[in-house]
Structure formats: structure tokens, C-alpha cells
Copies of this chain bind each other. A is one copy, B any other.
Amino acid sequence: MARMVGTPGQAFRVRRDVTTAMALAQRLQQVRHHTLELIAPLESEDLCLQGMADASPPKWHLGHTTWFFETFVLKPALAAGQITGFEPAPEAWSYLFNSYYDAVGARHPRPERGLLSRPPIAAVLAWRQRVDAALQQLLSRPDACGPSAEQLSLLELGLQHEQQHQELLLMDLLDGFSRNPLEPVYDAAPEARFASAWRQPSAGSGHEPRWLSHPGGLVEIGHPGAAAGFHFDNEAPRHRVWLEPFAIAERLVSNGDFAAFIADGGYRRPELWMSEGWAAVQQRGWQAPRYWRGSDAFSLAGRQQRDGEAPVRHLSWFEADAYARWAGARLPSEAEWELLADQLPQAFGVLWQWTASPYRPYPGFAPAAGAVGEYNGKFMSSQMVLRGSCHLTPAGHERRTYRNFYGPACRWMASGVRLARDSQQQASP
């Protein structure tokens, strides 16, 4: 549930030159502006909406991403005399907008973020502007006191971090809106992106999926390192894995597929479930994916009829796992997924895809030092890896080696299911 924030680590270092700084300044402006675009369709009262303890209100996301830049980049820069005139937020705000960095200090309890009606949005937006201006001031400084390689790396990290929160903001909002009997509409755009993403390139939805085979063997996965661009440290180091022959489905499981599972008693047959998952089914009364409502589904576009051919979404890992067992298949390991990701339709931009892999460190993984990297590996227990990206993921944020993760009972993120199976045959040529 807690969200990952990677660190530059040892593998990733932004080169320190003017071109890099200028490019970063431009991307920063775009990313920060995009966050504001995301809240444009909201009513004022929506800004504090927190549907559950795992989610955060929109205003909190705005504050937290800003706090990240202020804490890790601007305050040190101010102390070092690299920037001037920057007025940080009141001291107490640090307590409010820290997410889980223990080294930075105590923090406000997560389940009570929705109670932070103050500071008002106007004050938060003014702070965002001050921070943006100070970041641009730092980046535009061409002299020796300009941003260090370390600072450029932290800025890149802050940018990636804000992109993560852009996705979180939308999925948290969907959770919050889903609890309102009025079934509010946020905006039609995300659904339109989803529809166009899953439809092309088609992988034969509505029929038995085609399978892409691989002969297995000793393969390499993980991010190749700095030269290949930004990555979070949980993606490294690149390492060898032995795989048995396998095949992986070329499309995601559809609403229609999943409806057949339900019709076949899927939610009433304990033999299909992990023991822990079956307990969740009983206790939470699961009978369908989270946002199914009759023959409709709830989304950021409000309540709409469900498309049987569209990929099923908002499933827990337990449901994905049970479905795969019912279908005579299994979930892919993250290594299998990564190996064939470039050849798989619907790998990116549609739905995050549950894997069979618990979220654990790669061999040789070492968390970075300092507060930013303080806890990068601290979520590596009792969670499962998802791969790919979804229609809420900001453009350019996806990556073949990206490791997303959630607890196996979570359902509020845009998760989907891709099947895999053991294969006796060699891969097709």
C-alpha cells in the first residue's frame, strides 16, 4: 500500500551540464503543470476527499510532492547559498506532508490526511509556485554554484516521484468518488485513454488468447544501469535468472472472461483460492471486481456500461491468482514478463499486470544512503509485483524494468491480469 520512491542509487547519476539542466527545467515545468491540470475538474470539497486510510486527498498529493522538492533540494540549496529569496513553508507543514521518511522527522497519521482542511488550497498553490520558481532559479544558474550532479539527480527523482503521485491522485480519487452514492463524474479523458489503449494493437480479444512461447534458460533481467536512463533502485542490479520453458498470453483477461469465472462460481469455490484470499473473500464480501455495479462499472467517467471485451480491472492479486487457477493457467513471474514485454500487446498504458512474484530485493540489491533512499527496500515484504503501466500512468513514466507493488488484497489501483503457463515445447521460431 505504501508507495515506492526510488533513489538514484549508485547506478543512476545525471550528468552535470547545462543541457541537462535546461532539459530538466523544461520537463519539470511540464510535470508540475500537469499536476495542476489534474485537479482542474474538481470541486473545492473534493480536495480533502480521502476514501480510506490507504488513499490520500488530492490536496495532500499537491503538498507532498512540493514538500519533497523543498526538503531534499531547496532547503539544502538555500543553506548552501545557491538560491536566494526562497520562503519555505511553515515548519508545521513538514509534519503534515511527510509521507514516510522517518529520518526527516515525525509525520501526521496517514488515515487522518482527509482531516487537513487547512492549510487551504490557495496557500498550498502559492507554496507550489514559490517552490517552482526556486527550482527554476537553481536550474538556471550556470555558474559553479549551479546544481550539482547530486542535486540534478534529486530533481530527476522528484520529477519521477511527482509522476507517481499523479497516478496515485487519480486512483485515490476514484476510490473516494466510488463511496459517494451520487456517483460523481471526474472527467472523460482517462476512460478515453483506456479505450484507445487496450484496443490497439489488438490481441484478439473475445477469443481464446494467443500464447507467446519462450524456451527459458539462463536469462538476464533488471535495469542495465545509468547509461540506459533513469530507474528506481529496486530495478537493479541487472542479474541472471534461470527460467523453465513458458508461454504468456498476448492479451489481458477481459471482463467477459472474468464474468465466466464468476458465473462458474469463482467467488464461491475455496479450492480456487489461496487460504488468505479466501478469508478476504469471506470477510469483505467480494463477489466481483471492485468497481463492477450490476452490468455497469464505475470509473472516473462515472457509472457506465461495462464492455465485455475490455480488460478486467481493479482486481486483487488473490482474484487474479484464483482466476488463473480456474483458467488452468498461472500468473507470469516478473522475469517472464520482463523478458517478453517488448513483444506483448497491452503491456503498457492499459493496466498494471499482477505477477506471481513476491516483491523482494534483486540479488546484490543495496539501498542508497541518506534520507531520500532511507527506506527504499522497506516495503519488500508481503507485497506482490505488478508490471507494465496503466492508462493513468503519465506519459513517459513507464519502463520495461519497472517494479510496481501492492499488497495482495488491494484493489483500488488499475490492476489487470495476464496469464502464463508452463510450456513443454520450445519457443516458436
Contacts and interface: CB of A to CB of B under 8 A. Distances in A.
Contacts of A356: 360
Contacts of A364: 244, 422
Contacts of A240: 242, 244
A224 interface: no
Contacts of A242: 218, 240-242
Given A180-B115, A184-B118, A379-B275, A49 B48 contact: yes
Interface residues on A, range: 35 or more
Contacts of A375: 270-271, 275
Contacts of A108: 181
Interface stretch (A38-46, A145-153, A164-172, A342-350): A38-46
A367 to B, nearest CB: 9
Interface in A26-55: 43-49, 51
A44 B48 CA distance: 10
B244 A45 contact: no
A274 B361 CA distance: 12
A84 interface: no
B96 A181 contact: yes
Contacts of A374: 271
Given A48-B48, A356-B360, A363-B244, A378 B274 contact: yes
Contacts of A317: 381
A242 B216 CA distance: 13
Given A241-B242, A380-B274, A382-B276, A44 B115 contact: no
Interface in A343-391: 356, 358, 360, 363-364, 374-375, 378-382
Interface of A: 2, 43-49, 51, 59, 92, 95-96, 100, 102-103, 108, 112, 114-121, 176-177, 179-182, 184, 218, 239-242, 244, 270-271, 273-278, 317-318, 321, 356, 358, 360, 363-364, 374-375, 378-382, 408, 422
14 contacts: A44-B47, A44-B120, A45-B121, A48-B48, A49-B117, A92-B181, A95-B181, A244-B364, A271-B374, A275-B378, A276-B381, A321-B381, A363-B422, A382-B382
